[in-house]
Structure 1
Amino acid sequence: MNLMTDRAAAAATAMAVDVGPSLTLRDEMLAAGLLIDTGENGLYGRSQIFEDVVDRLNLAITHLGKDQQPEVLRFPPAMRRTDFEDSEYLKSFPNLAGTVHSFCGNDLGHQRLLRALDDAMNERDDERDDAWMEQQKPTRLVLTPAACYPVYPVIARRGALPAGGRTLDVLSYCFRHEPSLDPGRMQMFRQREYVRLGSAEQVMAFRQMWIERGTLLVRLLQLPVEVDLANDPFFGRGGKIVADSQRAQALKFELLIPVADPRGKTACLSFNYHMEHFGAIWKIACDDGSVAHTGCVGFGMERITLALFRHHGLDVNAWPDAVRALLWGDTEARVGDALQAAPASLGERA
């Protein structure tokens, strides 16, 4: 069932103050065919041009982290339900989670499903009953909420970390249930992450390095950039306490760019220090037997791409020469030159 139709969302948006621009980028991207409307808020198809930009951004990010010699891992956009349960995601973000259900019944159950489906199809899309879903049962899969989540149980099964810890390069489609007219807040989106596992010192150095490298990349893309202390959107009354603690310990920073939300800037990169949270859950040990600390830098691939279209225009051929040279030229050389010219801390191996 569509929990928030275009009509309802537009009505809610119209009641807010100064929200006109929040629709502009979305409407322009749809009109240009860069995004494809699926009829569900926050769920879009992507054009060849949009995907080409994402691919070239991915290449730039690869060269930005190449000297870290990460292990490359790619996972599908679903993970084991038991691993998801162990992650404690539901303690903090139950409203964002997406589970995978399937029909597991017999012939009688199938007939009940079809009758309920026939009844539903007689109604308008935004008023359809979901009674047919009573025949669906949870599977052993859950939609991946963040690209790094499948990593930790996999690494835990390998045993203790090597002396230098591990650095991983991961990419995945992710799901978060927050339908919106803001194209920067998609329900299905891609995260590219570098993940660090090791001692507290190794992870903190990694995060600082990536704050600087992420800022460098966004400046090379000639986008406005601001890095600020942040917190995750923890759920419920206790969420504010957890969020305040996260900010007090400076565990999360975000790189903010104006994209489509007129009320503020959009987090396009995040830099996270999880302390021992995941190491303790999955019993990941350092080479000295201590509990591993973890951290990650996450690139919001669609958000950065949207920011490029927002600030440089819908015609990629008219983008600034330096941006085109970075993305469509010798990306490796340009990223390498920028790292070489940057402060020494950007070139250190975390």
Structure 2
Amino acid sequence: MDDTSNAYVPGDDASVAPGDHSAMARPAQDPDTGRRAYRQALIDARVLFPSTVDGIYGRSGLFESIADGLNYAVSKLGADQDAEVMRFPPAMPRKDFEASEYLKGFPQLAGTVHCFCGGDREHHRLLARLERGEEWADQQQPTDVVLAPAACYPVYPVVASRGPMPREGLVVDVLTYCFRHEPSIDPARMQMFRQREYVRLGTAEQIVEFRQRWMERGTQLASLLGLPHEVDVANDPFFGRGGKIVADSQRELKLKFELLVPINDGAPPTACMSFNYHMDHFAHAWPLRTADGAPAHTGCVGFGIERLTLALLRHHGFKPANWPQRVRDVLGGI
């Protein structure tokens, strides 16, 4: 494991004891200062490696060892789910992306994959523009691939292709890198990040019960990790004026909850887990059907691996060897 003599010296809430939630109530003051300070501390300690684009970072061995520990902890927590494991690359077919209707709600976050598809003439034009420092990206064309915005999206067309689900429904364990175009100085708001999810497919009753159980488990995990936290109703960042109406409806129906942890001094707490009920939305995008042929409901619990890693470093320091033994045990003994 990487070791470093550099240590982050945060503000007043650095002394929060494991399980102490008092940090949640502190008012946000000059949030960008706290975000910049924590990001610089991570870079100075070589925990994250910066690039010329905000939100794109390399990860150190220390960072990855903690991320591995979190995946171990989540796997232990879900060992009783009899989940089918699915692992996807951080990309998905464009036709499935279009079917999901993601562009209706979040066009500002979507990332497409473009490639050069021309011949010699077009190649010479591209190189000439590049040499002159001119725009060259318009010499590329969209492919049949887009970057996955959420870990669960590739799951639904796969399950739908199998026909009706068994009567008990299905649970899927999925992990992948996701992309969302939201460059930020906040180290907890990366453009490429990992989501670990358990996805539940079945009846409305099955999804509601599943989400409640995982809200309890997520809270338990945060407590075992010694992270101050709270769970609150939330909404996704829907785009535009119409998006505000959808977001208000999502909050009113309590379809989304988030587990929040303070990470940056002076800034609001950060969503590190989410607990979602999609109703039958994805059954209209793909033919997801229950055993009796009805449109299936879906839900998921998502763990933000990067954000939880940053939260652990923020509250316990940059040397896991000095962390509370209980926390290290939960993470598989890092």
Q: Write the mapping of 1:236-275 to structure 2, written as runs, cut at 5 A.
A: 236-260=240-264, 262-275=266-279
State yes or no: 1:305 paired with 2:305.
Answer: no
Where 1:73 maps in the other structure, the secondary structure is strand
Structure 1 residues 18 and 82: CA distance shift in structure 2, 3 A = closer
2:43 to 30, 37, 60: 30
Q: Secondary structure at the match of 1:42?
A: coil
Q: Deviations for 1:266-319, whole angstroms, at most 9, x for unmatched residues? A: 000000000000012101110011100000000000000000000001111111
TM-score when normalising by structure 1: 0.86
Q: 1:311 to 1:92 in 2, by over 3 A?
A: same
1:321 aligns with 2:325: yes
Would you say how many aligned residue pairs link Structure 1 and Structure 2?
A: 306
2:149 pairs with 1:136:
no
SS of match in other structure, 1:177: coil
> Are the counterparts in 1 of residues 31 and 265 from structure 2 also a CA contact under 8 Å?
no
Matched letter for residue 38 of structure 2: L
CA distance in 2, matches of 1:320, 1:200: 40
2:325 partner letter: D
Please give the alpha-carbon distance, in whole angstroms, between the structure 2 residues aligned to 1:212 and 1:44: 32
Residues 206-260 of structure 1 deviation map (CA, whole Å, 9 limit, x = unaligned): 0000000011011000000100000000000111100000011110000000012
Maintained 8 Å contact 1:280/1:292: no
What is the aligned counterpart of 1:165 among 164, 169, 194?
Answer: 169
With CA pairs under 8 Å and 6+ residues apart, which has the higher RCO, 1 or 2?
2
The 5-angstrom pairing of residues 9-158 of structure 1 reads 17=30, 19-120=32-133, 129=134, 131-158=135-162
Q: Normalising by structure 2, what TM-score?
A: 0.90
Shift of residue 102 of structure 1?
A: 0.2
Residue 35 of structure 1 aligns with an amino acid whose one-letter code is L
Matches within 5 A, 1:338-349: none
Residues 288, 328 of structure 1: CA spacing in aligned structure 2 closer, same or farther, 3 A cutoff? closer
Match of 1:226 among 227, 230, 235: 230
CA distance in 2, matches of 1:71, 1:51: 24
- Partners of 2:250 and 2:33 in 1: CA distance: 33
Q: Which has the higher helix share?
A: 1
**Unmatched 5+ stretches in structure 2:** 1-28
Q: Distance in 2 between matches of 1:206 and 1:155?
A: 18
CA contact (8 A) 1:276 1:291 kept: yes
Secondary structure of 2:268's aligned partner:
coil
Report the identity percentage.
60
Paired with 2:331 and 2:157, the residues of 1 have a C-alpha distance of 35
**Aligned-pair distance for 1:18?**
5.1
| 1:45-99 deviation per Cα after TM superposition (whole angstroms, max 9, x unaligned) | 0001100100011011001001011000000000000000000000000000000
The residue that corresponds to 2:183 in the other structure is: 179
| Deviates most, 319-328 or 20-29 | 319-328
- 2:207 is the alignment partner of 1:207: no
Instruction: Please tell me the root mean square deviation across aligned C-alpha atoms, in Å.
Output: 1.2
The answer to whether the 8 Å contact 1:182/1:261 transfers is no
8 Å CA contact 1:225–1:257 kept in 2: the answer is: yes
Equivalents in 2 of 1:18, 1:61: separation in Å? 30
Equivalent residue letter for 1:135 = Q
